[in-house]
């Protein structure tokens, strides 16, 4: 709060590149920190996770097929529905498995010539219990790697910590 107050009282380099003296990008300040934290090649901040999924799909899967477990074609916080987000991005949703069980072979069998990605959607606001099977991220990466595909992993809130150590849900 004190740092924000201090910057807010004067000039800042939010959109100014001090090295070149020219207009810069407001994203560059946080990108370096996020890349260091996550190991990513590039990063940016958006206002919510649905926006992140939409931008990722638009950039990587427009006019192509993205495979999603039927049990993950859900409505997330704020009323955003994964099928709607995908449609808005221009990606074509290919659902596999069933509501309660999806296997790596389901993804494998659905891959076609227009498939570009497998998408895993975070179950932040729902649980399916009982007779279930979910493909792990490692299994998805193995299937995608075999076919030269991208894995998009919707991590929900973006929390990088294991919240279970604090008695919270994962």
What's the CATH number where 148 sits?
3.40.640.10
Q: pLDDT band for position 10 (50/70/90)?
A: confident
Judge if 91 and 62 occupy the same domain: yes
HSE-CB for 114 with a 13 A CA cutoff:
9
Residues spanned by the domain of 10? 2-38
pLDDT tens for 108-118 read 999 999 999 99
Is pLDDT above 80 for 131?
yes
Beta strand extents in 34-105 (DSSP E only): 65-69, 75-76, 80-81, 92-96
73 within a domain of the structure (yes/no): yes
- Position 44 in a domain: no
- Please state, in angstroms and as integers, the Cα–Cα distance from residue 22 to each residue in 15, 18, 27, 29, 80, following that order: 9, 7, 15, 15, 38
Same domain, 33 and 108: no
Q: Inform me whether the pLDDT recorded for 104 exceeds 80.
A: yes
CA distance 20 to 8: 23
């Amino acid at each position: 709060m004190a740092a924000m107050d201090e910057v807010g009282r004067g000039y800042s380099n939010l959109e100014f590149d001090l090295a070149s003296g020219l207009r810069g990008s407001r994203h560059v300040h946080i990108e370096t920190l996020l890349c260091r934290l996550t190991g990513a090649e590039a990063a940016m901040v958006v206002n919510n996770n649905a926006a992140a999924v939409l931008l990722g799909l638009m950039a990587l899967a427009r006019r192509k097929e993205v495979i999603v477990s039927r049990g993950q074609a859900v409505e997330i916080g704020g009323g955003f529905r994964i099928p709607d987000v995908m449609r808005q991005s221009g990606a074509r949703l290919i659902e596999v498995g069933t509501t309660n069980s999806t296997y790596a072979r389901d993804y494998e069998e659905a891959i076609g010539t227009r498939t570009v990605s497998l998408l895993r959607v975070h179950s932040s606001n729902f649980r399916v219990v009982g007779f279930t099977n979910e493909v792990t991220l490692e299994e998805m990466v193995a299937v995608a790697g075999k076919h030269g595909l991208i894995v998009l992993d919707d991590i929900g809130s973006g929390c990088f910590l294991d919240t279970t150590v604090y008695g919270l849900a994962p």
